Amino acid sequence: MKLVMGAVGAVIGLVVLALLAVVGVVISDDDASAAETTDGGGLTGVPTEFRKWILKADEACEVQEMTPALLAAQLWQESKFKTSKKEATSSAGAQGPAQFLPSTFATWGRDDDGNGETSLWDIGDAVMAQGRMMCSLLKKAKSSGYPGDARGLALAGYNAGWGRVEQFKGVPPKSFANGETFDYVQLILSTMARFRGPSLLTVSGSGAAADALRKASGRMGTPYAWGGGGPGGPSKGFCDGTNGYLDGQCVASSTVGFDCSSLVQYAFWPKTKLPRTAAAQYGSTSDRPVSRSDLKPGDLLFWSHGGSGSIYHVAMYAGDGNVLQAPRTGRNVEVAPLTSAMPERDYYGATRP
């Protein structure tokens, strides 16, 4: 819940914290397990109706410290993913799954779910507003020069207001508001691991290529959809008479996903605005060729039926002889060995975006 200053808010906060001190904070798997999903997308233990919005809010923020697990742990601390007015209205006046005060939500809230209403009770609107506010706070935290984890500083700003972070030049100490903000930060940081999904790909380093590979790795498990996907994420594809079919049926038009080149375009956007198709991506980067022995994570790899005009597939080098790719209809975004990702005889070359 948001910190509310004043005598009434302070008394309420003291009572709540006293109760927490007695009973402890327990995370029950039963509370959120009914509809949770787990995959390689970097998020687990989250109700299905929250999942896509957490991932979308994370994608909308270019700050590296923003992660799906951070947003999920914060939502858990705020509301336990509850959405009813009875369960998600605090005594301090905070409302909805992200526990916004109406005045604060007026700044960050939008009609993100497109239902014609901007509401802090709508999961999509609430989570996207949470993401926007946290993204802004993370930027402030990183540029502030204050000691400590930028995530902790941002969380403190979300709970108590950035003015309190400035006042204490860091996370407010336990002596402030009976430790409410201090405990809020510590609890969220300590429970992030519960929501961190299994990782099939570890990306180290910084820079545009590493960031792009890291972003694409968050989409592992997303279905392949011919013609689907783009800078904004996965979308339904289409069939063109040859592509998009599985067992004689057009599946692309009903599948939300990526094809090989849209995954690459999505990964690098907006820092590097690559064109849409694999052949065009080769054309725009062919002046920076890379030998197979000098590949680095994030480099683009191409396969062709013969010459640059017949390039049919692109993937990203993931290190250790592997590639990250959206392979073909019926499959999902995956990590695969370079030697078997596509027919070895078709390997055409690599470039560095």
Per residue in 251-264, pLDDT (tens digit) is 999 999 999 999 99
Q: Which pLDDT value is given to residue 32?
A: 33
Catalytic residue, chosen from 61, 74, 260, 265, is 260
pLDDT higher than threshold 90 for residue 113: yes
Number of H helices, E strands in the chain: 13, 12
Q: Which residue has the tokens 């997308």?
A: 41
pTM comes to 0.52
DSSP H helical segments within the chain, as ranges?
7-23, 29-32, 48-59, 68-79, 102-108, 123-144, 150-160, 162-168, 180-195, 208-217, 260-268, 278-285, 338-341
Query: What span, in angstroms and rounded, lies between the C-alpha atoms of 345 and 55?
Result: 37
Q: Which pLDDT value is given to residue 182?
A: 97
Q: Dihedral (C-alpha) 285, 288, 293, 294: value to the nearest 10 degrees?
A: -110
In terms of C-beta distances under 8 Å and separation of at least 24 residues, what long-range contacts does 132-138 make, across chains too?
132/57, 132/60, 132/61, 132/108, 133/104, 133/107, 133/108, 133/158, 134/61, 134/66, 134/70, 134/71, 134/74, 134/158, 135/60, 135/61, 135/62, 135/63, 135/66, 137/162, 138/61, 138/63, 138/65, 138/66
Q: Which pLDDT value is given to residue 34?
A: 29
In tens, the pLDDT along 146-165 reads 998 899 999 999 999 999 99
In tens, the pLDDT along 214-238 reads 999 888 878 999 999 999 999 999 9
306 CB-near residues (< 8 Å, 6+ apart): none
Q: Which pLDDT value is given to residue 65?
A: 86
201 vs 177, higher pLDDT: 177
pLDDT higher than threshold 90 for residue 48: no
Mean pLDDT for all residues in the chain:
87
| Mean of pLDDT values over 111-139 | 98
Q: Which of 57, 58, 59, 34 is nearest to 47 (CA)?
A: 34
Q: Which helix (H) or strand (E) holds 290?
A: strand 289-290
Q: Alpha carbon of 30 to those of 34, 80, 318: distances in Å?
A: 7, 11, 37
pLDDT grade, residue 200 (50/70/90)? low
Q: Is 260 a catalytic residue?
A: yes
pLDDT higher than threshold 50 for residue 36: no
Residue 198, preceding peptide bond in cis (omega within 30° of 0): no
- Tokens matching residue 204: 């180290």
| Mean of pLDDT values over 79-83 | 96
Q: State the maximum Cα–Cα separation within the chain, in Å, rounded to a whole number.
A: 76
pLDDT grade, residue 124 (50/70/90)? very high
Q: Residue 222 has what DSSP assignment?
A: P
Q: Is 239 a catalytic residue?
A: no
In a 3-state reduction of DSSP, which class is residue 134? helix
pLDDT grade, residue 62 (50/70/90)? confident
pLDDT grade, residue 42 (50/70/90)? low
pLDDT higher than threshold 80 for residue 309: yes
Q: Is 325 a catalytic residue?
A: yes
In the chain, the domains with their CATH numbers are 7-195 (1.10.530.10), 208-351 (3.90.1720.10)
The answer to whether the beta carbons of residues 5 and 94 sit under 8 Å apart is: no
Q: Which pLDDT value is given to residue 78?
A: 97
Query: What span, in angstroms and rounded, lies between the C-alpha atoms of 155 and 352?
Result: 37
In a 3-state reduction of DSSP, which class is residue 337? strand
Q: Which residue has the tokens 């923020």?
A: 61
56 CB-near residues (< 8 Å, 6+ apart): 127, 128, 131, 233
